[in-house]
Amino acid sequence: MTEFKPRILITLGDPKGIGPEVIAKALGDPTVAARARFELVGNEALFERACELTGTEARFAKISKIDLPEGPSAEQRGKYVYDALCSAVEICLQGQADGLVTGPLEKAALWDAGHCVPGHTEILGRLCDAAPVMMLAGGPLRVVPLTTHVALREVPDQLSCELVYDIALTVARSLKLDFGLDDPKLALTGLNPHAGEGGCYGNEEKTILEPAAEKLKAQGVRIDGPLPADTAFYKAAQGEYDAVLSPTHDQALIPVKLLAFRSCVNITCGLPIVRTSPGHGTAFDIAWQGVADAGAMIAAIETAVLIAQKRRK
Amino acid sequence: MTEFKPRILITLGDPKGIGPEVIAKALGDPTVAARARFELVGNEALFERACELTGTEARFAKISKIDLPEGPSAEQRGKYVYDALCSAVEICLQGQADGLVTGPLEKAALWDAGHCVPGHTEILGRLCDAAPVMMLAGGPLRVVPLTTHVALREVPDQLSCELVYDIALTVARSLKLDFGLDDPKLALTGLNPHAGEGGCYGNEEKTILEPAAEKLKAQGVRIDGPLPADTAFYKAAQGEYDAVLSPTHDQALIPVKLLAFRSCVNITCGLPIVRTSPGHGTAFDIAWQGVADAGAMIAAIETAVLIAQKRRK
């Protein structure tokens, strides 16, 4: 039986960043190019420049063109990136594409263009009218930060039993739907050292995390925790858990970037559409030199293809 | 030239834990046994039982005997562990030993015996009249948590420029004295996601960490940061840094335990004596079954030997 070859959209991301060149490199790889029917969403001239820079011969039947002035200001870059994302999401929601991979954007440019959100995930949630959850996957790990771009001082007050419950449920569903796991097993790490060591160092484990875990178990979700964070990721890397949920951004991202720095993929769970992106940012400091590593973009494309195939089944 | 063979003391740790058996296993390894002149500090019958359990033939000329009643209560275990530690430190301070490796203790037993401290490190600081700093070493990483056993909610207020400065200076000195690095390079990670991203998510980077780093540089310490924690450990693992200092316990311990779960060593920097221990705890749940892995104890012994040799030079 021929494998389903999904239609995958790719936005080029910020024109000043490494997005265009890593996309050109990725699609210049015949193995990657053969995996799906790709369609770009962005500026045609920009992508041609990226192909020239990287010496790739990526040619596409389709590119959804988005206007971008020459030598764009931050505001113009922000508008361009936002327009491309809206256009791509619209195509997916209309059922004309099976998944979306996004190139990295710059938050400051987005803000200059009047879109004051931390990044892609929040915009996607609004455009899809859904509650998106960010998952990072790399090497043997899938991790989910329960809070993301917030000062550490505010994390304890941002956590709630409802927040943990809702995110864990979304993750458990995504592991079934998107990754084909029949009965996924989650780990929940503590907020405090040693998961509070029985209340010696903070009580959020007892007041928030334990009740959330109990409520999830009552709903049939397999979840262990709150576990000491310094051992949970080792166990997950050994295959004991399908995903680890962590109260802080750094708890979750340190281990996955340590084990898979060059192939870390961001997956947005809980959306009606399939969406992935490379785990890195715009990397302005090395952009348009042709040196950027396409490993994470290739991994993001592969992951989007696999999820689109799983959802089709 | 014959290599200096240091005198290394080993305390057996809590009698209910895995300390005695992993020490017996470690010393039963001829390569380990040949590395130093070892002397145990603890209960003789306890160690004999551990040797029988593990089928090891470890025989010692010297054991500094510490009283331990049969079937000890938690209070008696705490007193025994504390007495052994005091005795061992005294021997080291008198110059009759070159280093100390400690078996794991149980905090609750220590507290029952009236010693209300989080663990070995604090007792060692008091006995040696010094400001000890906990370093964990494993695989390619050396990490130092700037705060340890404290609720996450309290971490931002526990951090201060002086704290970071004092710890970093102790670590830089230890890397020279104990590890023989001529010009060590440190990384300091941020407290907040993306190291605060220019003040967007918390300001401790600007008010505490940056001033501390500047003050350290003025003292000739090579230090980068505050860096985003989710990329700093990857860079350190690639060899870019000799140690990483992190505001929270979990930031520091997650990566080192992920890369070196079975060989992680705790090193107390800033003491007049050499002291190491395995990175694990008492593991009551698997103790006295003979199944405990001695890898971390062997690594702790090796590290103590190497540091004692460096200090001798």
> Which tens digit of pLDDT belongs to each residue from B136-164?
999 999 999 999 989 999 999 999 999 99
- With CB atoms and an 8 Å threshold, state whether B151 touches A202: yes
Q: How far apart are CA A254 and CA A275, in angstroms?
A: 22
Q: What residues of chain B, 132 to 161, have a C-beta less than 8 Å from chain A?
A: 148-156
Which chain A residues are closer than 8 Å to B259 by Cβ? 258
B230 — pLDDT class (breaks 50, 70, 90):
very high
Average pLDDT over residues A156-177: 98
Contact residues on chain B for A139, CB-CB shorter than 8 A = none
Assigned token pair, A237: 């890397």
| B196 contacts chain A (CB < 8 A) | yes
- Cα–Cα distance for residue pair A195/A204, rounded to 1 Å: 9
Q: Is the pLDDT of residue A57 over 60?
A: yes
A239 touches chain B (CB under 8 A): no
Q: Any CB–CB contact under 8 A between B259 and chain A? A: yes
Asked if residue A1 has pLDDT above 60, the reply is no
Question: Residue A109: which residues within 8 A CB-CB, separation 6 or more?
Answer: A14, A74, A75, A77, A78, A81
Report the distance separating Cα A233 and Cα B112, nearest Å: 32
Tokens of A141: 């790990």
Q: What are phi and psi of A124, to 5 degrees?
A: -60, -40
Residue A235's Cβ-count burial label (10 Å; 0-12, 13-18, 19+) is middle
Q: Which of B270, B172, B191, B203 is nearest to B232 (CA)?
A: B191
The order of strands in the sheet holding B7-11 is B63-65, B37-42, B7-11, B99-102, B275-278, B265-269, B133-138, B141-145, B243-246, B185-189, B222-227
What local confidence, expressed as pLDDT, does residue B203 receive?
Answer: 95
CB contact under 8 A, A254 and B255: yes
Q: Please tell me the distance from the alpha carbon of residue A157 to that of residue B115, in angstroms, as a whole number.
A: 33
| Rounded distance between C-alpha atoms, residue A122 and residue A257, angstroms | 22
How crowded is the C-beta side of A210, counted as CA atoms within 13 Å? 10
Judged by CB atoms closer than 8 Å, whether chains meet at B254 and A259 is answered as no
**What phi, psi does A207 have (nearest 5°)?**
-85, -25
Number of residue pairs across A and B with CB atoms under 8 Å?
114
A165-174: burial string, b at 16+ Cβ within 10 Å, e else: bbbbbbbbeb
A-facing residues of B in 93-132 (CB < 8 A) are 107
Q: Please give the pLDDT value at position B1.
A: 55
**Rounded distance, CA B87 to CA B39, Å?**
12
pLDDT of the residue at B63: 85
Tell me which residue in B148, B193, B231 faces A249 most closely, judged by beta carbons: B193
Q: What CA–CA distance (Å, rounded) separates A229 from B233? A: 16
Name the residue in chain B with its Cα closest to that of A157.
Answer: B153
Distance from CA of B58 to the nearest CA of A (A): 31
Which 3 state secondary structure label does DSSP give A266?
Answer: strand
Average pLDDT, chain B: 95
- The answer to whether A262 faces chain B, any CB pair under 8 Å, is no
Taking an 8 Å cut-off on Cβ atoms, the answer to whether B149 and A254 are in contact is no
Q: Which residues pair with B244 in a beta bridge?
A: B143, B187
Average pLDDT estimate for B2-24: 95
A208 burial type by CB count under 10 A (0-12 exposed, 13-18 middle, 19+ buried)? buried
Q: Tell me how far apart the alpha carbons of residues B278 and B136 are, in angstroms, rounded to a whole number.
A: 9
* A240–B contact, CB cutoff 8 A: no
Q: Give B114-138 pLDDT, tens digit per residue.
A: 998 888 999 999 999 999 999 999 9
Cross-chain Cβ contact B152/A237 below 8 Å = no
Mean pLDDT of B64-92: 95
Q: What integer best gives the mean pLDDT of chain A?
A: 95
Residue bearing tokens 């699609």: A27
Q: At what angle do helices B19-28 and B44-54 cross, to 10 degrees?
A: 60
Q: Which of B107, B191, B201 sits opposite A150 (nearest CB)?
A: B201
Rounded Cα–Cα distance for residues B254 and A255 (Å) = 7
Interface test with B, best of A148, A244, A250 (most B CBs within 10 A): A250
- Which pairs count as long-range contacts for A206-213, CB under 8 Å and 24+ apart, including other chains? A208/A159, A208/A160, A208/A161, A208/A164, A209/A159, A209/A164, A209/A247, A211/A161, A212/A161, A212/A164, A212/A165, A212/A168, A212/A188, A213/A164, A213/A188
Probe site for chain A from B117, B230, B282 (most A CB atoms < 10 A): B230
> Is residue A179 scored above 70 in pLDDT?
yes
Mutate: best of A148, A258, A286, partner B, most B CBs <10 A: A258
Torsion angle of C-alpha atoms B219, B225, B226, B228, degrees rounded to 10: -160
Contact flag B233-A258 (C-beta cutoff 8 Å): yes
Smallest Cα distance from B192 to chain A, Å: 5
Find residue A132's DSSP bridge partners.
none
Q: Does B240 touch chain A (CB under 8 A)?
A: no
CB-CB under 8 Å, A193 with B234: no
Which of A229, A231, A257 lies nearest to residue B230, judging by beta carbons? A257
- ipTM over 0.85? The verdict is yes
Q: Do A150 and B234 touch (CB under 8 A)?
A: no
Name chain A contacts of B202, Cβ cutoff 8 Å. Answer: 151-154
Closest residue on chain A to B154 (Cα)? A153
pLDDT on residue A61: 60
pLDDT value for B65: 87
Instruction: Check CB contact of B280 with chain A, cutoff 8 Å.
Output: no
Whole-structure pTM value:
0.94
> Residue B61 — pLDDT band, cuts 50, 70, 90?
low
Which pair of tokens denotes residue B287?
A: 């103790």
Closest CA of chain B from A115, distance in Å = 16
**CA-based nearest residue to B224, from B172, B160, B155:** B172
Cα B170 vs. chain centroid, distance in angstroms? 14
Minimum distance, in Å, between the CA of residue A158 and any CA atom of chain B: 12
**Contact between chains at A258 and B229 (C-beta distance less than 8 A):** no
Evaluate whether B85 touches B9 at the Cβ level (below 8 Å): no
